[in-house]
Amino acid sequence: MALQSELQKHGISFEELDRPPHDPLLYPAIRCCRAFICPNSDKALQVANRPGRAAAVAAGVRGLVQSARQAAEAWEKERVLAQSTRLEDPLPVTLVIDSVRSTQNVVSLLETCATAGVAEVIFCGITPAPPMYSILRRARTAAAQVPSSFAVSAKEAVSKLQATGVQVWALETTSRARPLEEMPLPEEPLALIVGNEKYGVSVDALESCDEHVCITTVGIKNSLNVAVAG
């Protein structure tokens, strides 16, 4: 492939760019590559086939990758500085966000976690996560203050947490769910999973959780918005 060859001249591998989990800061570079590889019109295809076009696109991608790397370094420094001012003993609770689609819901959850001083937030699946611009634009300070990581799936996150002795509870309206207010807090560190706005917590993650808990409601609707519940 012409573009792949040109990218290699700049020390860039498209396969590495496009391999999940994707770095949000690299999205512009990935989109630029995809637009060249999969033109969406006859005119775009003609442009892509022009002599020297692959080299020009590769040069543009190089610039986008360099910008992404600089932004990543700046963001990491910001995170380290923000987290150096956190309490030495954070709340021993981890929030696992399982494929929540809405940026606003994620922002609300991050703000709540920063206020509560939770130990960590784990973003799973399709959940928008820092340093995505849409997250930082609304909750930059909270995103910097709360330690976070990414897991390809909630199931993966559950397994890793349980391997370190963490109790994992799913906040979900299943038949085995017990009212949260009736649950005694475990002596071990606790992780709470909240799920997708439509489908809830992933089935495979649910099956692995130590407990299912729910928030008691008295109205017709039996569940809360994920940001409110979190």
Q: 163-178 pLDDT, tens per residue? A: 999 999 999 999 999 9
| Domain ranges within the chain, ordered by starting residue | 2-82, 86-229
Q: 113-138 pLDDT, tens per residue? A: 999 999 999 999 999 999 999 999 99
Q: Which CATH class is domain 86-229?
A: alpha beta
Residue 222 has pLDDT above 70, yes or no: no
Structure letter (DSSP) for residue 117: T
Q: Could you tell me what percent of the chain has a pLDDT over 90?
A: 84
DSSP H or E segment with residue 137: helix 133-145
Return the ∠ at Cα 76 (arms to 18 and 129), rounded to 5°. Answer: 50
Which pTM value belongs to this model?
Answer: 0.86
- How far is it, in rounded angstroms, from Cα 115 to Cα 97? 17
